[in-house]
Amino acid sequence: MLFGKGNVLVGEMNVLFGKGNVLVGEMNVLVGERDPARATELQTDRSKERPNVSRRRRNRRGALRSAMQRDYSQERYLAAKRTVDDRALNADVLDALRPTLRSATTVVEVGAGIGTMLQRLVEWDRLPAGDDVTYVLVDVDVDALDAAAERLPTWAAERGYEAAVEPFDEADDADEGAVRDRIRIETGDGTLRVRAVAADATTFLAGADPDLVIGCAFLDLLRPPAADEFFDRLPADCVGYFPITFDGGTVIEPPTDPDFDAHVVDRYHEDMRRRRDEPGDPHAGRRLLTRATRDHDLVAAGGSDWVVAPGLDGAVADAYPADEAYFLRHIVETIRGALADDPAVGDERLAEWVADRRTAVDEGSLVYVAHQLDVLLRVG
Ligand SMILES: C[S@@+](CC[C@H](N)C(=O)[O-])C[C@H]1O[C@@H](n2cnc3c(N)ncnc32)[C@H](O)[C@@H]1O
């Protein structure tokens, strides 16, 4: 969903990493051939759109981003998001996915982050449904894949599954366009072969032939022309499951100054559309639904709003469940970062608004809702 880390990777490189007890081995990084051009084009767009943004202001934004990198972690955010997504996911849409999961042998998850969807599908007895399922985690963020490769064997072992990191096999590389086995998990119901591939989703799909493509909290990161390219790459008859697709609704309560609160939300949504390095679509959910009915076969759809409030899921009245207080702080920080150089939002007002929201999280009074849609379709 909204807060992707849209690294633009240029050129081809191999990344070697090993962490803790998990030797991950060699990871191939696939790169979108259109990325450099897009980066240049977007830079040009930005300079046209914001001629008055001073160098000092841009420097300050850089400093804010550094502070965010220091104090906030994308890995922790994605882990904290797990329980929020668990509550939000539309059960009817997930049920409609069951027949596909039963027969699928190759699943590609784009924008897979740290692998929480894979964990969920196993924990909720949806995978593996067949004897042997290959599940490919694709993401442009090597750090996220690094975290996934570190977390998954530990998680599997904690659940009593056998997990092994498989050695790199040249033959696989030749046959399957640089996709490499990583982790084999034996759950007792079957074998899951998990592969992690650092690649742009659209580029990766050009050389893949999955039965099922999953993109959770992903499509709103693509602005409309990029979304068209992405859908053009989905193989005919493949099923696409796109849950937690943002659809233009952000509610943060209790109000501070209602007019200013509404202005912050408007500017935040506008930033999603315009941001230079990761332009997205704040109305991706409704566009996806239209696309599914117009160009493909819509199988199921439903709302999947994030609802975060104190007292949910057995938490005490003024506390948030699991790590959701961090999730909220990360959201507030993301909004602050998005609006930090927006001339339409004064610095002092923004700082007051952020301080107020942080206090509300600390006191356990902040309520947050994001409107999202889950869509299941068969590519026509
Ligand atoms: C909001 S996160 C969601 C992660 C995961 N699906 C989840 O729900 O926890 C979006 C992910 O998409 C990745 N991403 C963004 N643009 C991408 C692209 N063009 N190709 C592949 N991954 C991308 C980001 O790096 C990030 O990990």
Q: Are residues 24 and 108 in the same domain?
A: no
Q: Is the CB of 32 under 6 A from ligand 1?
A: no
- Tell me: cis bond preceding 128? Omega within 30 of 0 counts: yes
- Cβ neighbors of 69 (< 8 A, separation 6 or more) are none
Q: Count of domains in the chain?
A: 2
Q: Is the CB of 221 under 6 A from ligand 1?
A: yes
Q: Are residues 129 and 228 in the same domain?
A: yes
Q: Is the CB of 325 under 6 A from ligand 1?
A: no
Q: Are residues 174 and 224 in the same domain?
A: yes
Q: Residue 280, exposed/middle/buried by CB under 10 A (0-12, 13-18, 19+)?
A: buried
Q: Is the CB of 331 under 6 A from ligand 1?
A: no
What is the DSSP-derived secondary structure letter of residue 257? S
Q: Are residues 277 and 181 in the same domain?
A: no
First and final CA of the chain: distance in angstroms?
25
Q: What domain range includes position 115?
A: 88-246
Q: Using CA positions, which residue lies closest to atom 3 of ligand 1? A: 217
203 assigned to some structural domain = yes
The HSE-up count of residue 360 (CA atoms within 13 Å, CB side) is 21
Helix (H) or strand (E) holding 12: none
pTM for this prediction = 0.82
300 assigned to some structural domain = no
The HSE-up count of residue 169 (CA atoms within 13 Å, CB side) is 12
Closest atom of ligand 1 to 1 CA is: 1
Distance 228 CA to ligand 1 centre (A): 17
pLDDT tens digits, one per residue of 205-258: 999 999 999 999 999 999 889 999 999 999 999 999 999 999 999 999 999 999
pLDDT tens digits, one per residue of 135-161: 999 999 999 998 999 999 999 999 999
Q: Are residues 135 and 170 in the same domain?
A: yes
Cβ-count burial 1-11 (b if 16+ within 10 Å, e if not):
bbbbbbbbbee
Q: Is the CB of 89 under 6 A from ligand 1?
A: no
Q: Are residues 96 and 233 in the same domain?
A: yes
User: Which residue, 246, 266, 293, sits at the end of a domain?
Assistant: 246
Nearest C-alpha neighbor of 110 from the set 181, 26, 192, 204: 204
Q: Which residues of the chain have pLDDT under 50?
A: 1-61, 64, 171, 173-181
Question: Residue 329 in 3-state DSSP?
Answer: helix
Q: How far apart are CA 374 and CA 246, in angstroms?
A: 9
Q: Is the CB of 200 under 6 A from ligand 1?
A: yes
Among 119, 135, 141, the mutation site with the greatest number of ligand 1 atoms within 8 A of its Cβ is: 141
Q: What are phi and psi of 110, to 5 degrees?
A: -90, 145
Q: Are residues 214 and 347 in the same domain?
A: no
Closest atom of ligand 1 to 85 CA is: 8
Among 7, 136, 218, the mutation site with the greatest number of ligand 1 atoms within 8 A of its Cβ is: 218
pLDDT at 167: 62
Q: Is the CB of 141 under 6 A from ligand 1?
A: yes
